[in-house]
A and B are shown apart, each in its own frame.
Chain A
């Protein structure tokens, strides 16, 4: 009895804030409910049928996959590289740590405006520099050929510092004696020691970074798209969460948006399960 009483606040918060809304979203996904509508009808799988026939949704899924597929590996390996460089360096370590971590603590909206200026086709410094060497830069954010790449680059930049800090923490946890042992055992080249000691011992860190980066890439892509491109041009930068947001709060199709949310949920849960199932055993050395 006391046990239930003690866990009541947490239980209540979980039920009210997480469980009920999730269940409500699942229920809505099978209805035609629209925000403000007086009634709703049970329409079974109609929402999902419409979803998979919807070119906008398919495009949105594809963009999301490309975005996450670019941002995750690039920011993980980039972050690892930065962490290794800073760890190996002797001077200005605090400075570099701070500089690369800055994007993490800044507001996405503010940073996005800065990027908008940097990438502006005519007044932006990037294209100005390209012009200096005689190259006409593309319209980074307003051409459907480059918009997703540009957003991914910003996403990488944004995640790099976060991953770097996580890897730095992981690196300090590696016992120094292992490196000494590796050297005595004949791991002469830095690459040998990286393969023998650093990479395997960073395993748990890397798994955590992988999980967190994918989630961050999936969710924070919304902020960038909402501020910079609104999914355009011509749906070339539509991502799942933005589509969901528009269906729900612009078109008020709550049932349809709930179906998207459900698909999103299934994707995230599947990814996380796969990661923990297959990788967890391989990075924690009992």
Chain B
């Protein structure tokens, strides 16, 4: 069942095209992460889903309803902001209660003193307080209900923002880089907490981040965005192992995927700097060959390279080298045990399995290799 459907959304700020025909379906209970560099339009897309910004063209459907022109309040979505956007003058309990009070009480009933004596207010307020306690309890905020946001730590504020989002059981959650203001140790914990909340509530979630590790660890599907387009939307494993665009391949993965110019001859045989590989391409002409650092192996054959440095990461080492023929920078992830075996003159050969190589044409589109052999690419 589709909860959220975006259809060819276009957005311009002045003369800049921020979104160019973005379409996306999010199923019920699905966790979709929009990831991309800053300025790629991911936050704008989220604000359009929330109804804070209006698209130039295209439609937004939530829960089967066309809400393209509906006010944010009528969309039944909750949003967590990067800055948390807590109301500084309200206590934690009052902050969490805001969406419920807006839903359940009218303007008169929300008045501080007079509201209390109007019929129905007392019961509704009691019910709201109960719901607030439930939401606060699920995030371990019960002890902080009377504090003001200014008296809370970053992690606590972030949890209050989450509680304010879950308290009214929305159709969809929208999260705009909710973890980017937390320090690293808190971030991992908060990441699990958000996934846990999502699992419990089962509401469709759209999560915006520029951090690919968040995207890969949390998402059911990752939508990689760049310059106002979704380049690929797929499960994390597919995004990582089977990118359809060179930009996806280079954006996802740390350290960045190795790329080098290659060429396919008349028979489709792929060569790197004249060296034949075991790869056969469906395309002809200039290509880009890309290999993940952990797929590069030290060997006696392969791409000749000169070691420029070694980074120690604990469980592995990063070998920085330069391809002798093309000058392309290469990074290989090797085991600490391999370090003593490195030649003293720095001349190494880096090989990879043909199946691990990704080919892209001049426009950056993925080109399938015809014979992905298990054998090393260079023999």
Q: Do A and B come from one complex?
A: yes
**CA–CA, A217 to B117, complex, Å?**
38
* CB pair B148 A183 closer than 8 Å: no
* CB pair A180 B47 closer than 8 Å: yes
Residues on the A chain within 8 Å of B99, using CB: 185-186
**CA–CA, A186 to B79, complex, Å?**
11
* CB pair A183 B83 closer than 8 Å: no
Q: Which B residues fall within an 8 A CB radius of A?
A: 47, 50-52, 71-74, 77-79, 81-83, 85, 87-90, 98-99, 102-103, 107, 110, 148-151, 164
* CB pair B150 A184 closer than 8 Å: no
**CA–CA, A197 to B86, complex, Å?**
10
* CB pair B107 A192 closer than 8 Å: yes
**Is the CB of A175 closer than 8 A to any CB of chain B?**
yes
* CB pair B102 A186 closer than 8 Å: yes
* CB pair B73 A187 closer than 8 Å: yes
Given A185-B98, A188-B73: A180 touches B81 (CB 8 Å cut-off): yes
Q: Which A residues fall within an 8 A CB radius of B?
A: 175, 177-178, 180-189, 191-192, 195-197, 200-201, 203, 285-286
Residues on the B chain within 8 Å of A181, using CB: 79, 81, 85, 87
The 3 A-B pairs of least Cβ separation, nearest first, read: A186-B102, A181-B85, A200-B89
Residues on the A chain within 8 Å of B71, using CB: 183, 188
* CB pair B102 A200 closer than 8 Å: no
With A180-B81, A186-B102, A285-B89 known, 14 other A-B pairs at CB within 8 A are A178-B87, A180-B52, A181-B79, A182-B98, A184-B73, A185-B73, A186-B98, A186-B99, A187-B73, A187-B102, A188-B102, A196-B98, A200-B89, A286-B148
Closest CB in chain B relative to A196 CB, distance in Å? 7
Given A184-B73, A185-B102, A186-B99: A177 touches B88 (CB 8 Å cut-off): no
Residues on the A chain within 8 Å of B87, using CB: 178, 181, 196-197, 200
**CA–CA, A197 to B74, complex, Å?**
20
Which label, helix, strand, loop or mixed, suits the secondary structure of the A interface?
helix
Closest CB in chain A relative to B309 CB, distance in Å? 42
**CA–CA, A186 to B81, complex, Å?**
15
Q: Identify which of A177, A186, A188, A285 contacts B83 (C-beta below 8 A).
A: A177
Q: List 23 A-B contacts (CB under 8 A).
A: A177-B82, A178-B85, A180-B47, A180-B50, A180-B52, A180-B81, A181-B79, A182-B98, A183-B51, A183-B71, A184-B78, A186-B98, A186-B102, A187-B73, A188-B74, A191-B107, A195-B110, A196-B87, A200-B90, A201-B89, A285-B88, A285-B89, A285-B148
Closest CB in chain B relative to A226 CB, distance in Å? 42
Residues on the A chain within 8 Å of B73, using CB: 183-188
Q: Which A residue sits closest to B110, measured CB to CB?
A: A195
Q: Identify which of B72, B82, B150, B151 contacts A183 (C-beta below 8 A).
A: B72
Count A-B pairs with CB separation below 8 Å: 74
Residues on the A chain within 8 Å of B148, using CB: 285-286
* CB pair B98 A184 closer than 8 Å: no
Residues on the A chain within 8 Å of B82, using CB: 177
* CB pair B98 A177 closer than 8 Å: no
**CA–CA, A184 to B103, complex, Å?**
11
Closest CB in chain A relative to B24 CB, distance in Å? 19
Given A186-B103, A188-B71, A196-B98: A180 touches B85 (CB 8 Å cut-off): yes
**CA–CA, A182 to B102, complex, Å?**
10
Residues on the B chain within 8 Å of A187, using CB: 73, 98, 102
> Which of the listed residues A180, A186, A192, A285 has the most CB atoms from chain B within 10 Å of its own CB?
A186
Given A183-B72, A184-B72: A201 touches B88 (CB 8 Å cut-off): yes
> Which of the listed residues A180, A191, A197, A200 has the most CB atoms from chain B within 10 Å of its own CB?
A180
Residues on the B chain within 8 Å of A186, using CB: 73, 98-99, 102-103
* CB pair B52 A184 closer than 8 Å: yes
* CB pair B151 A177 closer than 8 Å: no
Q: Which A residue sits closest to B176, measured CB to CB?
A: A177
Residues on the B chain within 8 Å of A191, using CB: 107
**CA–CA, A203 to B150, complex, Å?**
15
**CA–CA, A253 to B87, complex, Å?**
56
Closest CB in chain A relative to B353 CB, distance in Å? 48
Q: Identify which of A184, A188, A195, A203 contacts B50 (C-beta below 8 A).
A: A184
Q: Which A residue sits closest to B101, measured CB to CB?
A: A186
* CB pair A192 B102 closer than 8 Å: yes
**CA–CA, A96 to B81, complex, Å?**
34
Closest CB in chain B relative to A173 CB, distance in Å? 12
**CA–CA, A144 to B82, complex, Å?**
60
> Which of the listed residues B50, B85, B103 has the most CB atoms from chain A within 10 Å of its own CB?
B85
Closest CB in chain A relative to B106 CB, distance in Å? 10
* CB pair A177 B103 closer than 8 Å: no
* CB pair B89 A175 closer than 8 Å: no
Q: Identify which of B110, B149, B164 contacts A185 (C-beta below 8 A).
A: B164
**CA–CA, A196 to B103, complex, Å?**
14
Closest CB in chain A relative to B89 CB, distance in Å? 4
* CB pair A203 B52 closer than 8 Å: no
Q: Which B residue sits closest to A284, measured CB to CB?
A: B150
Q: Identify which of B79, B110, B149 contacts A184 (C-beta below 8 A).
A: B79
Residues on the A chain within 8 Å of B79, using CB: 180-181, 184
Residues on the A chain within 8 Å of B47, using CB: 180
